[in-house]
Structure 1
Amino acid sequence: MTMKLASPGIDLGIVVSDLDRSLHFYRGLLGLHHEGSNPIPGGGLMHRLWAAESMIKLVLPEPVPEQPVIAGGLRAGAQGLRYFTFSVVELEELMADLVANGVPVIRGVTEMAGGVRIAIVEDPDGNHVEFLERR
């Protein structure tokens, strides 16, 4: 039997080093809707943000993990989750705003096949975040 999804979205947990910086990026700059926060078992705090029908969970465990993100996205030479993607409209405007706010750009707006454009930035912890626009 295969799984039966209860929702068209997914939940993504991101362990962060600084909740204020991460909330500024995901809520302040990207505009995700902040649903709330709650303590997590074993110590720490989770903030829940909505991206359409998907939830981004920003998690700051206690103690804060010492191991940083493996830098480099797809080119890091590491397995596992290397980036995640938001489908957006007005990619050029979004990227201009992110650049104006000092967000590190990994790949500027790039034309791909089939009328798709992408751009990739780093979040405050070095995670690669891709934006995709279908034209």
Structure 2
Amino acid sequence: MTNFVHRLHHVGVVVNDLQGSLDWYRDKLGFEHQYSFTLPGAEVAMLVRGEARLEIIQVEGAAPMSKERKEIETFLKIRGINHFALIVDDLEEAVAALAAKGVEIVIPPSSVPNHSGDRFAYIRDNERMLVELFQSAS
């Protein structure tokens, strides 16, 4: 059976400051806090915006993000998930609105190099994690 997966449900992100991340994703990207819970040694909050869901996790004693993960020149040299992408209707408008809110624009609006007409940009969240904004041509 190969068709048991339907779509991605959520992305989990370990952060240093749970409340700071809740505030950032609410104020900058319009996510809503759906619910919170605790696990041994962790505080967790689920955020939603449309079909996008983020599980924000603050863990006691979590290691800080490595220097290589923080730099656009080296972040692809680390295995594992390194960013997540959010779909936007108008990439230029989204990037301009976020820049006006003080969000760091790491890569400005660019074309996906496969000639599809799809476009993307990268921003950083409050913890310097990369977030891609993606606009489909279709």
**TM tier, shorter chain?**
0.7 to 0.9
Shift of 1:47: 0.8
Aligned letter for 2:30? G
Aligned letter for 1:124? N
Q: Which residue of 2 aligns with 1:58?
A: 56
Q: Which residue of 2 aligns with 1:38?
A: 37
Give yes or no for contact 2:52–2:86 (8 Å, CA) kept in 1: no
Distance 2:85 2:32 in 1: 17
Q: TM-score, normalised by structure 1?
A: 0.84
- Structure 1 pair 80/67, CA: closer, same or farther in 2 (3 Å)? same
Aligned letter for 2:119? R
Q: In percent, how many aligned pairs have the same letter? A: 27
Distance 1:49 1:26 in 2: 8
Q: Which residue of 1 aligns with 2:21?
A: 22
Q: Which residue of 1 aligns with 2:89?
A: 89
Distance 1:74 1:32 in 2: 29
Distance 2:63 2:83 in 1: 21
Shift of 1:56: 0.6
Q: Which residue of 1 aligns with 2:134?
A: 132
Shift of 1:3: 6.2
Q: Which residue of 2 aligns with 1:9?
A: 8
Bigger drift between 27-36 and 68-77 goes to 68-77
Q: TM-score, normalised by structure 2?
A: 0.83
Uncovered stretches (5+) of structure 1, i.e. residues with no partner: none
Query: Considering only aligned residues, what root-mean-square deviation do their CA atoms show, in Å?
Result: 2.0
